[in-house]
Amino acid sequence: MSYCLNPACTNPQNLTHTELCQACGSKLLLRDRYRIIQALGQGGFGATFLAMNESLPGKPSCVIKQLRPNASAPHIMDMARELFKREAETLGRIGTHPQIPSLLDYFEENETFYLVQEYVSGSTLQQEIKRSGPLSELEVKKFLSEILPLLAYIHEKQVIHRDIKPANIIRRAQDNKLVLIDFGAVKYQSAQPSNASDQTALTSYAIGTPGFAPPEQMNMRPVPASDIYALGISCLYLLTGKSPKDMDYDPTTGELNWKKYIYVSDHFAGVLAKMMEISVKQRYKSALEVYRALDLEDHLESLANSINNVESRANAMPRANVGYRDGDSEGPASSRLARQAMAIRSRKQTRMDSTGLYAGLTRSRAIDSNRLNTGIASRGRNSAGRGKDTGGNEKQKIPVRLDAEGLQTYYAKGKRDFASHDLHALALQKVNLSGANFHQSNLSKINLQGANLYNVNLGRASLNHANLKNANLSKAYLSYADLESADLRGADLTEAYLLNANLRGANLCGANLAGARMSEEQLAMARTNWMTIRPNGKRGL
């Protein structure tokens, strides 16, 4: 097939060996040698096509990029031309490298710029993950062992890629090697400080992919460590299959809350954490630093052989957890991994026992049992005294005014009804109060940061100025609740019922409202940002 490059063509597909487009009459053989076979993709500034060079024996395949901005404004055109020119200059500057496509041609025809590159047959890592699922820790380390030397080579050439991501890394079919593509966003490290004469269309725009690009790059101050950050985010994608936009962020620091999505060794988690430091001063400065931190030089091949002898990928559980199975304790090759897995499970169990309901029950038993048995409440509970039921028998009542310790004690004993209670200004960070009833209670200025409030009843409760940052309010009932000026940054409000709640001035930056019942008018009264997940499941303002 011959494909027409005229952007205005209504039917660009033509029969093979056709000289002129049957729909628009445009010439189909570009520069009298390149015949376009099919479209590969469309970006913000250009379109990419698969072509063959009919002037050479065997008609070898190549990739042609055509300057084709989405907008025709003069400043957009200037930026597109500069990016196009920069990619050609970079490929020429880097020279020949087996993991970078070669620049074959660069020219202008009919007032349009074209760039011709070596064609790399294979799949991007993004396509691989979508097709086969996430990788194991070992596989990601092997990926780093191959891509880090390439990144070091690029940085030695004084080039910052600025768009490292799985979609820009191809596994070449012929030799299984990784190839880095798309050098249209590069920046030269050797560039002099800008002055009036140096200003270009690029100086007003951040280049890179949101989520993969670090803050300093989005602020137009990229450094080599910016590529390290993007590589760390790429590792998360390979381990989880999740794009950074699908992960939770800390709304205060802007950091990804990534550790809950993966299951890797403590050492590797530490390396990833330093790769993805928000502060560029705390991040690895070079690819070589990351390589040394992973200690890959001497151990990667032997580790791969030992694990491959233990189990095959066909019998593995979900790939993000390969190497941590209960059955891996047999044989010398897997004993170290088994010990690591046992240690990880032990630490998780320890954390579980030190927080949540079991820890609450343990703490409640430590409270003076004599005082509980005689009905004398802990601090703040004396005012309620005792009540009588209709039969005249005495029974203990939950006092209207509880302190934090008293509330947790009653909850640990199985009490769940705290309706119409005065609980304002209590400090209850990270407590577990799931399923409790706080209907019409006074919870103004309460601190429930990080608390588990799953499926609680907060109907008509006063929560103005409450701290509910990062709290779990999934499936909570909040109808007619007063949440004016409440801090709900990063809170989980999935499937919460918020109709008729007062959200005036409430901070919902970074909150997850997927599936929540509420109106657009309510949402408009609150503060949101691009990290807020709206009721329709989409992220953004």
Query: Residue 26 corresponds to which amino acid?
Result: S
DSSP alpha helices (H): ranges in 314-376? Answer: 335-354, 356-366, 369-373
Which residues are the active-site residues?
163
Through-space distance between the first and last CA atoms of the chain, rounded to whole angstroms = 44
Mean pLDDT score of the chain, rounded to an integer? Answer: 77
Percent of the chain exceeding pLDDT 90 equals 40
| pLDDT on residue 182 | 81
| Three-class SS state of 34 | strand
pLDDT tens for 186-234 read 565 644 444 433 334 443 344 678 889 888 888 888 899 999 999 999 9
pLDDT tens for 110-129 read 778 888 988 999 999 999 99
| pLDDT on residue 70 | 56
| pLDDT on residue 399 | 63
Indicate if the pLDDT at residue 520 is higher than 60.
Answer: yes
| pLDDT on residue 364 | 35
| pLDDT on residue 496 | 93
| pLDDT on residue 107 | 85
Residue carrying structure tokens 């008018």: 521
Indicate if the pLDDT at residue 324 is higher than 50.
Answer: no
How many whole angstroms separate alpha carbon 439 and alpha carbon 480?
Answer: 10
pLDDT tens for 355-402 read 333 333 333 333 333 333 333 333 333 333 333 433 334 344 566 678
**Strands of 384-521, DSSP E:** 386-388, 394-396
Mean pLDDT calculated for residue range 275-283: 93
How many whole angstroms separate alpha carbon 471 and alpha carbon 282?
Answer: 29
pLDDT tens for 235-247 read 999 999 999 988 8
Distance, CA of 219 to chain centre: 19
pLDDT tens for 403-456 read 999 899 889 888 888 988 999 999 999 999 999 999 999 999 999 999 999 999
Of 481 and 350, the structure prediction assigns the larger pLDDT to: 481
Q: Which domains does the chain have, with CATH numbers?
A: 2-118 (3.30.200.20), 124-191+208-323 (1.10.510.10), 416-541 (2.160.20.80)
Q: Which pLDDT band holds residue 109 (cuts at 50, 70, 90)?
A: confident
DSSP state of 205: S
Indicate if the pLDDT at residue 297 is higher than 60.
Answer: no
How many whole angstroms separate alpha carbon 317 and alpha carbon 469?
Answer: 35
Q: Which pLDDT band holds residue 308 (cuts at 50, 70, 90)?
A: very low
pTM of the model: 0.53
How many whole angstroms separate alpha carbon 181 and alpha carbon 165?
Answer: 10
Mean pLDDT calculated for residue range 262-270: 91
Which residues 6+ apart lie within 8 Å of 68 measured at CB? 7, 42, 45, 46, 47, 112
Mean pLDDT calculated for residue range 96-122: 85
Instruction: Please answer whether residues 498 and 479 qualify as being in contact, where contact means their C-beta atoms are separated by less than 8 angstroms.
Output: yes
Q: Which pLDDT band holds residue 185 (cuts at 50, 70, 90)?
A: low
Q: Phi and psi dihedrals of 211, rounded to 5?
A: 100, -40
pLDDT tens for 458-511 read 999 999 999 999 999 999 999 999 999 999 999 999 999 999 999 999 999 889
| pLDDT on residue 515 | 92
Sign (positive/negative) of CA torsion 462, 464, 465, 467?
Answer: positive
